[in-house]
């Protein structure tokens, strides 16, 4: 048996002392059995919500979902969700139960849960309560619906996406019958809200098994991401590539750091290729201008999925720049760092690297050498505290206004001065920049 946190032991003891059953349940039991730190510890109990509140009247209690039987108890600043044993009522919209019913036994509560590995409860004295073979499935790495998979997916289509998400996160396989039902009912995912799809999708993408799952479950993936379907099996016959566009995409997802921004960027980076594909007379495929189209598709897709603004902005920009090729000279690279931004550039080098891992392996060494040189130059510029933005420039708009510059010329001249510094035409010193500014202002008045 695994160790329970002090607070969980206390909650269970207090409920038991008051005459109620209480267990840790669901994801925390699964993760603890896998020796992983659970995200949170959820509890299930025979006590009704009012009874839970009475037992914890000395604690801070928040009625997070009282109509669903959930009460959150705060212990040392940490929230613990305690839910009354319940079963879900009718599902008429494949989305959420029309009602919930409280029940008196643990078995019924465990039966309503989605997968065997998520349907275990645990008690410090009784050990793990495993009624559906969850422990074995955990040991063998299998995601299996509790009960009849068709029925369970028909009740709630989100479970279809949760199945592939858990299989990806834990690098598990999906039991055959469960997988069959998931594929067959994939179209019903249309009834699930975009927000919930996005939550599951991000977890799926960041999982250890993402590559395998994205390749093995196209029916499910393209139901939630119809924008990406044209990439599926689309050939790209050219020296850089050995995989079709979707297989390449999936490999780059797996090669990127396991964080949503990177994984989403790779997922979307070539989405514009189908629209931009041309084949020349030698039979070689080209995708000229695809990053612009990919960026537009990325933005549209993330907006549809109700992504937060910051993620949309970062992903769209990284997608737009993913094909950056720059001469490996200090000045050229620094101009690109300045244009793309100090924060985004190091992220872009990770995107470029992941992209190379999905291309022709024969060229990989040479391409990695290129991206390493970008990274080294970036680190060198940061280390030197190099002037890369207008904020770093030791000359300001106010200095220019004092010299008599007006309106738009102020911005134009500042950009020129920054570029002069990056190109090492002038030192980043106020006096030197002032002399240079005089020349630019003169040029601008002569040739506006």
Binding site for ligand ATP (CB under 6 A): 26-27, 39, 42, 113-114, 118-119, 156, 158-159
Quickly list DSSP for 406-425: -THHHHHHHHHHHHHHHTTS
Size of the site for Mg ion (CB under 5 A): 1
Q: Using the rule CB under 5 A, give the single segment among 8-16, 19-27, 270-278, 413-421 that binds Mg ion.
A: 19-27
Q: Which is nearer to ligand ATP, 137 or 299 (CB)?
A: 137
From ligand ATP, Mg ion, none, interface partner of 158 (C-beta below 5 to 8 A by class)? ligand ATP
The site map against Mg ion for 371-410 (x = CB under 5 A) is ----------------------------------------
Q: Which is nearer to ligand ATP, 34 or 390 (CB)?
A: 34
Contact present, 413 and 398 (Cβ < 8 Å): no
Q: Which is nearer to ligand ATP, 120 or 319 (CB)?
A: 120
Q: Which is nearer to ligand ATP, 23 or 345 (CB)?
A: 23
Least distance between ligand ATP and beta carbon 209 (Å): 15
Least distance between Mg ion and beta carbon 120 (Å): 13
Q: Which is nearer to ligand ATP, 159 or 273 (CB)?
A: 159
Candidates 11, 22, 24, 27; binder of Mg ion (CB under 5 A) is 27
From Mg ion, ligand ATP, none, interface partner of 319 (C-beta below 5 to 8 A by class)? none
Least distance between ligand ATP and beta carbon 88 (Å): 8
The C-alpha angle with vertex 25 and arms to 192 and 56, in degrees rounded to 5, equals: 105
β-pair type (100-102, 70-75): unpaired
Contact present, 111 and 173 (Cβ < 8 Å): no
How far apart, in whole angstroms, are the C-alpha atoms of residue 381 and residue 34?
44
CA distances from 124 to 6, 16, 37, 38 (A): 11, 11, 17, 17
Give yes or no for residue 119 binding Mg ion (CB under 5 A).
Answer: no
User: Which pair of structure tokens corresponds to residue 413?
Assistant: 């001249």
Least distance between ligand ATP and beta carbon 174 (Å): 16
Q: Which is nearer to ligand ATP, 32 or 422 (CB)?
A: 32
Contact present, 350 and 262 (Cβ < 8 Å): yes
CA distances from 346 to 3, 215, 379, 388 (A): 41, 29, 9, 14
How far apart, in whole angstroms, are the C-alpha atoms of residue 1 and residue 32?
9
User: Which pair of structure tokens corresponds to residue 319?
Assistant: 């997608």
From ligand ATP, Mg ion, none, interface partner of 114 (C-beta below 5 to 8 A by class)? ligand ATP
Contact present, 106 and 137 (Cβ < 8 Å): no
Residues in the chain: 448
Q: Which is nearer to Mg ion, 30 or 375 (CB)?
A: 30
The C-alpha angle with vertex 13 and arms to 7 and 17, in degrees rounded to 5, equals: 150
CA atoms within 13 A on the CB side of 329: 6
Least distance between Mg ion and beta carbon 340 (Å): 37
How far apart, in whole angstroms, are the C-alpha atoms of residue 301 and residue 27?
30
From ligand ATP, Mg ion, none, interface partner of 113 (C-beta below 5 to 8 A by class)? ligand ATP
Contacts of 406 (CB under 8 A, 6+ apart): none
From Mg ion, ligand ATP, none, interface partner of 159 (C-beta below 5 to 8 A by class)? ligand ATP
Other residues' Cβ atoms within 10 Å of the Cβ of residue 210: 26
Q: Which is nearer to Mg ion, 65 or 346 (CB)?
A: 65
Least distance between ligand ATP and beta carbon 388 (Å): 40
Least distance between Mg ion and beta carbon 164 (Å): 17
**C-alpha dihedral (68, 169, 198, 69), degrees to nearest 10:** 0
From Mg ion, ligand ATP, none, interface partner of 377 (C-beta below 5 to 8 A by class)? none
Q: Using the rule CB under 5 A, give the single segment among 21-29, 82-90, 204-212, 332-340 that binds Mg ion.
A: 21-29
Cβ-proximal residue to ligand ATP, closest one: 27
Contact residues: Mg ion, CB under 5 A: 27
């Amino acid at each position: 048996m695994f160790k329970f946190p002090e607070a969980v032991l206390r909650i269970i003891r207090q409920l038991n002392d008051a005459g109620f059953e209480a267990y840790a349940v669901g994801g925390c039991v699964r993760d603890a059995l896998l020796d992983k730190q659970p995200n949170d510890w959820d509890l299930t109990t025979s006590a009704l919500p009012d009874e839970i509140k009475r037992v914890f009247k000395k604690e801070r209690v928040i009625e997070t979902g009282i109509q669903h039987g959930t009460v959150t108890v705060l212990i040392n600043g940490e929230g613990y969700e305690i839910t009354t044993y319940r079963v879900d009522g009718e599902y008429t919209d494949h989305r959420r139960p029309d009602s919930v019913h409280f029940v008196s036994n643990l078995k019924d509560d465990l039966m309503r849960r989605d997968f065997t590995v998520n349907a275990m409860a645990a008690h410090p004295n009784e050990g793990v309560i495993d009624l559906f073979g969850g422990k074995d499935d955990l040991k063998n790495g299998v995601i299996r619906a509790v009960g009849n998979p068709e029925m369970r997916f028909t009740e709630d289509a989100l479970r279809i996406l949760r199945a592939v998400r858990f299989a990806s996160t834990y690098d598990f396989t999906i039991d055959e019958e469960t997988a069959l039902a998931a594929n067959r009912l994939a179209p019903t995912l249309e009834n699930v809200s975009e927000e919930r799809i996005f939550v599951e999708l991000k977890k799926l993408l960041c999982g250890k098994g993402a590559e395998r799952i994205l390749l093995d479950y196209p029916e499910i993936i393209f139901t939630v991401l119809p924008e990406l379907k044209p990439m599926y099996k689309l050939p790209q016959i050219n020296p850089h590539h050995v995989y079709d566009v979707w297989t390449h995409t999936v490999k780059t997802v797996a090669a990127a750091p396991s964080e949503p921004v990177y994984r989403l960027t790779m997922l979307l980076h070539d989405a514009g290729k189908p629209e931009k594909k041309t084949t020349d007379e030698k039979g070689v495929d080209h995708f000229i201008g695809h990053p612009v189209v990919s960026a537009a598709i990325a933005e549209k897709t993330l907006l549809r999925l109700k992504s937060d603004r910051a993620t949309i902005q970062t992903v769209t920009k990284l997608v737009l720049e993913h094909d950056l090729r720059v001469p490996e000279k200090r000045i050229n690279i620094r101009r690109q760092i300045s244009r793309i931004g100090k924060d985004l550039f190091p992220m872009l080098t990770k995107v470029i690297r992941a992209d190379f891992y999905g291309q022709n392996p024969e060229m990989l060494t040479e391409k990695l050498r290129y991206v390493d040189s970008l990274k080294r130059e970036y680190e060198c510029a940061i280390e030197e505290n190099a002037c890369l933005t207008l904020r770093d420039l030791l000359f300001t708009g106010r200095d220019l206004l004092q010299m008599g510059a007006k309106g738009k010329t102020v911005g134009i001249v500042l950009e020129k001065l920054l570029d002069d510094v990056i190109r090492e035409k002038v030192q980043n010193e106020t006096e030197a920049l002032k002399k240079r500014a005089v020349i630019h202002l003169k040029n601008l008045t002569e040739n506006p």
